[in-house]
Amino acid sequence: MGKAEIVVISLAVLAAFFIPKSLLQFKNRSRNAYPSTGEILRFDAAQVDKLIPHDANIEILVNGYVWTEGPLWVPHEDTGFLAFSDPVMNIISAWEPRKGLRVLLDKSGCQHDGCLSFREPGSNGLALNTEGELTICQHGERCIALLHANGTQSVLANRYNSKRLNTPNDLVYRSNGDLYFTDPPYGFKEMEESPLKEQPHNGVYLLRKGAVDPILVIPDQSKPNGVALSLRESKLYVANSDPDAPYLYSYALNADGTVQGPPTVLFNMSDYVARGWAGLPDGLKVDAYDNIWLTGPGGVYILTAEGTLIGALRMEFAVANVAWGYDWDDAMDRWDTYLYLTASSHICRLRVISNILPPYVPKLKALEAAKMAEQDAQAHDSEL
């Protein structure tokens, strides 16, 4: 049993295994049998065809939440599940193929009596550290927290220069265990004007593995939100959720993870904001081709590493973030790879071509076993 699996089991022990009546989920469906939504746009068909099958749809798995955020595929036993936050409901939930929904962690971002002082008191971004432990951006507690295998929590970071952080929003680990996280004021009721705000900036921080004090690496971005690393970890991408500066920034990194200098505006979403489409630059993920899947006004934008727009998922509601994951297809008798979306009150997904998964996504034991069996069968056939 791996460390990641131990953490998931501890989450299951903590969880109240129930589904709120307000939530609607669609269960026991085969490929493309869920309700569908949105549109897939292929501006550069040759490139997008390498990423998304032509028979794929954007599917709605669940709806009825207030605002879904922080999707993360968590390995568990032979498969896994999608963990995600609702910062308003103050819970972390899980959607597992065949088993559906369950609540993993109640009071996921605020455990104290002052939760009413927050517009979004709950958790937001989620990640697994190099030991497979769940790392949580907690708005109400104003910290980055670590959930241990025994169910206890510890604080990784909650202050900078002796002042409380704002409301940590999103995070991404380097392969060496160092952690980047963004710290905008979105969780506060009054946001920038909140009397709770102690930091003079909305920072992006680097927390070294084993350290207790974060390093402020980006002090001057107006509304930092989603954060991701390029495949070689040479660039840090930060989405800016500011309607007056709705940009995806790219920062060149030094070998030690610090920022080299001023950023490049990799993608400007001003035109899409002007159209009144729902959403702002928010969460993002990178694929095996180093393409960037960026949520923003009207859906998800697929960009090359140079910032060229090659495709999009046009959605009628705001999309907060995305994550890579899996599901078993009964009809095809195989594992499929998906891009899962936290989209307003919904959990959605899009089937993608499996070889676009970046190396940091945990591989399924069952999927690896199936590949080995297929390779063995091919080797056997070649010998006949």
pLDDT tens sequence across 116-143? 889 999 999 999 998 889 999 999 999 9
Q: For residue 157, what are the β-bridge partners?
A: 144
Give pLDDT, residue 9: 34
Q: 135, 144 in Cβ contact below 8 A?
A: yes
Confidence of residue 364 (pLDDT cuts 50, 70, 90): low
**Which distant-in-sequence residues (6+ apart) come within 8 Å of 247 by Cβ?**
239, 240, 265, 266, 267, 268, 269, 281
What the block records as the tokens of 28 is 């026991």
- With tokens 């746009």, the residue in question is 41
The model's pTM: 0.89
Whole-number Å distance between alpha carbons of 274 and 257 = 35
To the nearest whole number, what is the mean pLDDT of the chain? 88
Q: 225, 239 in Cβ contact below 8 A?
A: yes
Angle at CA of residue 258, ends 148 and 263, nearest 5°: 115
Give pLDDT, residue 335: 80
Q: For residue 271, what are the β-bridge partners?
A: none
